[in-house]
Structure 1
Amino acid sequence: MRRRLLPIAVSVLSMVVALGACGDSDDDDGAGGGSGIQTIRIGASPTPHAEILQFVQDELAAKAGLKLDIVEYTDYIQPNVALSEGDLDANYFQHLPYFEAQVAERGYKFDHFPGVHIEPYAAYSDSIDDIADLPEGGRIGVTNDPSNQARALDLLVEADLITLDDTGDEDPTILDVADNPKKLKFVETDPEQLPRSLQDFDLAIINGNYALEGGLNPVTDSLLLESGENNPYANFVAVRAEDLDDPGLVKLDQLLHSAEVRTFITSKWPKGEVLPAF
C-alpha cells in the first residue's frame, strides 16, 4: 500500500443482527438470482453503513428489482470471512487500505466498487479541551488494526505531536514513531472498545463509525479531525471477484452512488460527521 498523509480538518467476537425490516425474498436465488426480485445479503457496520443501506432498501431497492437482506457486524473481521465463505453476497464497511491489507494477509479473492462515503477519523478526550493541553507522558488510545493505526498516527503528525520514520510503501505503526517530544504513551486497543474506554486515556483516536455508535460527533466533539478532501479512506461495497459484474450488485452500487443517497447522507449528517465520496 502506498502511504497517504492526510491534513487535519480488530479481532473480537462479532454480534450479528439481521435488521427487522428484512425478510424472505420473492426470489430466493441470492445475488446471482434469476427473474423477479433479486435478494442481496450484505454485511455492514451498524453506523452509518447499515443506515445508508436501509435507506436504499426503503426508498430505492424495489424500483430497481432488488431486496436487501442487511446483516450487521460489530467487528472488522467477520464481514470478510462471511463474504469469503459465501454467507454474504457483499459487504460494506471497509476502506481501501484495510481491504488491501486483508486481501494480502488472508488471500481473499475479492474486488470492490467505488467509494460511497467517508467517516472522518478524529481524536477525543474526556480530560482536556484543547490539544495544546495534552500532558507530557499522556496515554494515547489507538486502534490495534495496522491500516487504521497509520491513519491515527497521521493525525498526530499533522498536529506536530510526533514524527514518523520513513516506512516506504508500508503503513507505519507505533513502532515507527521517531520524535515524540511529549513522550506520549501509545496503548493499542480493539477499535470498538475505544469510545467506551475514553476515560482511560488522555486522548483516544477513534474510527468514525465507532465514534458515532458511541455517541461522539467527529465534528463537534473532537480535538483533531481528519479532512475529507482527497481522502483515500472512502468506504465501499466489496464482493467476491467473480461477482463484480453481477447485475444485481452493479444495480446496488449504482443506487449507492445516486443523488438520493447523497442527499440522504448530507441530510442525516449535516455537520459532516459522514461525507459523500462521490
Structure 2
Amino acid sequence: MKKLSLFVLAIITALVLSACGSSSASTTEGKETVKVKIGVNGSDGIQWPILQEKAAKEGIEIELVEFADYTLPNNALAQGDIDLNAFQHLSFLSQYVKESGNDLIPIGSTMFAPLGVYSEKIKDISEIKEGDKIAIPDDPTNQARALRLLEAGKLITLADDFGLAGDPSQITENPLNLEIIPMVAQQTPRVLPDVTAAIINNGVAGQAGFSPGEDPIFKEAGDNESIYPYVNLIAARAEDKDNETFKRIVELYQEDDIKQAVAEDTKGGSSLVILTQEQLDETFSNLLK
C-alpha cells in the first residue's frame, strides 16, 4: 500500500510539473500576454497582420475591432470598449474632442493618406466644366480638406478665414457653378456614375478597389508641415499617455517593415510619416484652439 501511495504521488507530481511547463511555454520571455484592442475602420491592410505578429513575439496580443463608419471608434475608445484606435488624422480627432469633451490624445503617427479626385468621365481635373457635380465627404474635417483640394485645383476660391473645418457656405467664388454634394465618405465611390468626379478618402478608395497611388486625376501634395493636421495617428485615452505597452505598439508600427507594407498595400498611395511626440502635441494643441 505504501508503494502504491508513493507511485500515485509520483504521477501527481509529474502532472503538476507538466502543467507548469505548458504555462511557461505560453508566455513570452516569462511575461504574461497583454491583450490590446485596437479600433480600426477597415482591417484588411497588410500592415495589421505584420504588426500583430511582431507584437505577439513581445507578449502583446492585438485584437482588431472593425467599425463601419468614422463616428464610432472614438466613442468606443472614450467608453473603454477598446484600448486604442487607428483610423483618423489629427484634425478629425481634435474636432471630436472639441465637440464631445472626451479626453482622447494622439500617442503616435502612422501614415499620410492624401485625398484624391476620382472620375469615370474625365481624365484630368482641367476637364471639369460648367455645372458639373462633385461629391465630397461630409464629415467636418474631410469636407474642409476636400474643398481645399478643389481650391488647389483652381476650381473654387474659399474665404480667408476658412480654417480646418470650413464648409461650402464659405466658398467665395465658384466660376463654373459647380454643384458640390457633401455625403457620407463611404458613399463617395458609389456615386461616381452619377457625378463628374468625387473626392474620396484614401482608405475608402482602396476598399472600393481603386489604387490611391495611380487612379486619382488630382490629389493632395504631402511634402511639408501643412500636412501635419492630416497625418493619421494612434489615439488613446489621456490617462494612458504613459502606457508602456501602447508606446511599444507605436514603435513597432513605425518600423521599416510596416513602412514597406503600407507603400505596397496602397501602391504608393500612402506613406508612413513619423512625427515626434512633441510635433504631435504641438499640432494637436493648435487644432484644439
In which range does the TM-score fall when normalised by the shorter chain?
A: 0.7 to 0.9
Distance 1:183 1:168 in 2: 19
1:54 to 19, 42, 49: 49
Contact 2:146-2:199 within 8 A present in 1 as well: yes
Correspondence for 1:253: 250
Distance 2:85 2:260 in 1: 22
Cα deviation 1:178-235 (Å, max 9, x = unaligned): 1111000111110001111211211100111101100112232111111221222111
- Amino acid in the other structure paired with 1:249: F
- Amino acid in the other structure paired with 2:257: E
Contact 1:144-1:188 within 8 A present in 2 as well: yes
Correspondence for 1:45: 41
Distance 2:116 2:43 in 1: 16
Cα deviation 1:136-165 (Å, max 9, x = unaligned): 011110111110011111111111111001
Distance 2:184 2:221 in 1: 24
Distance 1:275 1:182 in 2: 34
Decide which structure has the larger Cα Rg and report it.
Answer: 2
Query: In structure 1, the residue corresponding to 2:154 is in which secondary structure?
Result: coil
Distance 1:238 1:162 in 2: 34
Count, aligned residues? 244
| TM superposition shift of 1:252 | 0.5
RMSD: 1.8
| TM superposition shift of 1:274 | 1.6
1:243 equivalent to 2:240? Answer yes
Distance 1:259 1:141 in 2: 36
| TM superposition shift of 1:170 | 5.1
| TM superposition shift of 1:263 | 2.4
Contact 1:113-1:237 within 8 A present in 2 as well: yes
Query: In structure 1, the residue corresponding to 2:246 is in which secondary structure?
Result: helix
- Amino acid in the other structure paired with 2:33: I
Q: Normalization by structure 2: what TM-score?
A: 0.80
- Amino acid in the other structure paired with 1:265: V
Contact 2:124-2:218 within 8 A present in 1 as well: no
Correspondence for 1:108: 102
1:140 to 118, 134, 142: 134
Query: In structure 1, the residue corresponding to 2:245 is in which secondary structure?
Result: helix
| TM superposition shift of 1:53 | 2.4
1:186 to 162, 175, 180: 180
Correspondence for 1:87: 81
1:175 to 166, 169, 175: 169
Provide the identity percentage: 33
- Amino acid in the other structure paired with 2:52: Q
1:215 equivalent to 2:209? Answer yes
Distance 1:121 1:73 in 2: 21
Query: In structure 2, the residue corresponding to 1:116 is in which secondary structure?
Result: strand
Query: In structure 1, the residue corresponding to 2:236 is in which secondary structure?
Result: strand
| TM superposition shift of 1:168 | 5.8
Indicate the structure with greater helix content.
2
Contact 2:141-2:164 within 8 A present in 1 as well: no
Distance 1:42 1:119 in 2: 19
Contact 1:82-1:88 within 8 A present in 2 as well: yes
1:277 equivalent to 2:273? Answer yes
Assess, with a 3 A threshold, how the Cα gap between structure 1 residues 221 and 266 changes in structure 2: closer, same or farther.
Answer: closer
Query: In structure 2, the residue corresponding to 1:53 is in which secondary structure?
Result: helix
- Amino acid in the other structure paired with 2:271: L
Distance 2:246 2:98 in 1: 24
| TM superposition shift of 1:47 | 5.5
Contact 1:143-1:190 within 8 A present in 2 as well: yes
- Amino acid in the other structure paired with 2:254: H
